[in-house]
Amino acid sequence: MASNAYIIANKRAVSSHPHRQPHLPLLLLLFSLFFIGKFDIVSALNYTKYTRKVSNLRLQRIQKHLEKINKPAVITIESPDGDIIDCVHKRKQPALDHPLLKKHKIQRVAPEMPKVKTLKRDEGSGDSKRKEGEDLIWQMWHRNGTRCPKGTVPIRRSTTRDVLRAKSLFHFGKKQSTTINPTRRADAPDVVSSNGHEHAIAYTGTSQEVYGAKATINVWDPSIQEVNEFSLSQIWILSGSFDGSDLNSIEAGWQVSPELYGDSRPRLFTYWTSDSYQATGCYNLLCAGFVQTNSRIAIGAAISPVSQYDANQYDITILIWKDPKVGNWWMGFGDNNLVGYWPAELFTHLAGHATMVEWGGEVVNSRANGKHTSTEMGSGHFAEDGFGKSSYFRNLELVDADNSLSSVHDISTLAENTNCYNIKNSYNNEWGTYFYYGGPGNNPQCP
């Protein structure tokens, strides 16, 4: 059940913790542009500079692209937050448009789940307590009670306004490519870039063969200063050259991105690339690639409820691992809920195995006013504030060549500027290897 995927940690336990959009005529599309500024309002964010005159040719190109990715729906569900969720037949989903997947048959036999090496902890004895028997509403579109029928997958519909917020049609749904600092250590994680991305992460070494990773991630709604900035918390599965153009990456977690989604809500997301974010891959289902199999989980949909300061804490559990028999990389959510998979055909290095895993937060610092951004990471509080105040990742685990899952013990941590965002890791029997991380960004010590 998808309801078991969402966990609540009660604040009373703090003291016990050790520390298809329809085809629109062109005239209607043109008319709608006059209202972009009116409807694309995100908190105090200013969309003025993103509202510009658009040529008929560009609108036609956008509409053609939307017709390609917004597949015909069996039924359509309107979410309270304004999202439109299209229930698309699983064999009509965008993934199968990929040139490498023309002959791909959707994997029907469930993958072999990783075996747990160590005994499971008593889940009722620590900070996180599962609300057994409750049908927790963990995505906004679930609230009206309608679900996608069997044999379909829920896909968040993209709109003209979504594309217009992007730098270009090519950049829609993509991360910026990174430029690596040539002086970086050979074993350092792929985070040192010149495009304003900042991180607070834990990571493994590069000498081992890794076949997956898992973690439980605290969910917040950090504030974003600029429309083109974001704040995310995720798992990275990596292989290839960090200082070349062949890096393979599989990513999943939650993200607040006004430019991508048009609001400031935290949303479940995925990402992949096989060429260092240059041309391949995208977020969610905004391009061909990721094959969805789950009819209840909408990638890119808003998560609700979210954690509150010194109050109830909510988290999600994400598992990414390589099916030892077929070779596809699967994503699990919560208690063994299969979301879908990244076909092995998409990758070069990850067709074999991963060499590094990262867990943690990332923000974009655009320095729009000549100062460090005030975009928050995690809860917006530093790691030392602890449970209920700072954001956390807990129960960090890795999957080995035997498809066994075990707790991570040897990790390193990195934060480019600890006066803006930081990270502190530890270990205990209940949370295994865990860490607190995040920060407010701009402050007197982070000008």
Q: Are 446 and 419 in contact (CB under 8 A)?
A: yes
User: CA torsion sign, 346 to 319 to 359 to 373?
Assistant: positive
Four-residue CA torsion sign, 88, 91, 95, 96: negative
Cross-strand partners of 419: none
- Asked whether the beta carbons of 234 and 396 are under 8 A apart, the reply is no
Cα-based angle 284, 289, 290 (whole degrees, multiple of 5): 55
d(CA 172, CA 59): 14
- The token duo for 197 is 């991305």
Gyration radius of the chain's alpha carbons? 21
Contact status, residue 270 vs residue 251, Cβ threshold 8 Å:
yes
Nearest to 37 by CA among 29, 48, 53, 45: 48
For 440, how many CA atoms within 13 A lie in the half-sphere containing its CB?
10
192-196 contacts: CB < 8 A, separation 24 or more?
A: 192/416, 195/364, 196/364, 196/365, 196/366, 196/367
Q: What are phi and psi of 155, to 5 degrees?
A: -125, 125
Tokens of 374: 């005030």
Alpha helices, DSSP H, located in 118-230 = 160-165
Cβ atoms of residues 151 and 411 within 8 Å:
no
Active-site residues, by number, are 251, 362
CB–CB of 409/433 below 8 Å? yes
Beta strand 212-218 with 128-129 is: unpaired
Q: Angle of helix 56-69 relative to helix 26-33, nearest 10 degrees?
A: 110
CA 222/CA 380 separation, integer angstroms: 6
Residue 328 token pair: 């596809």
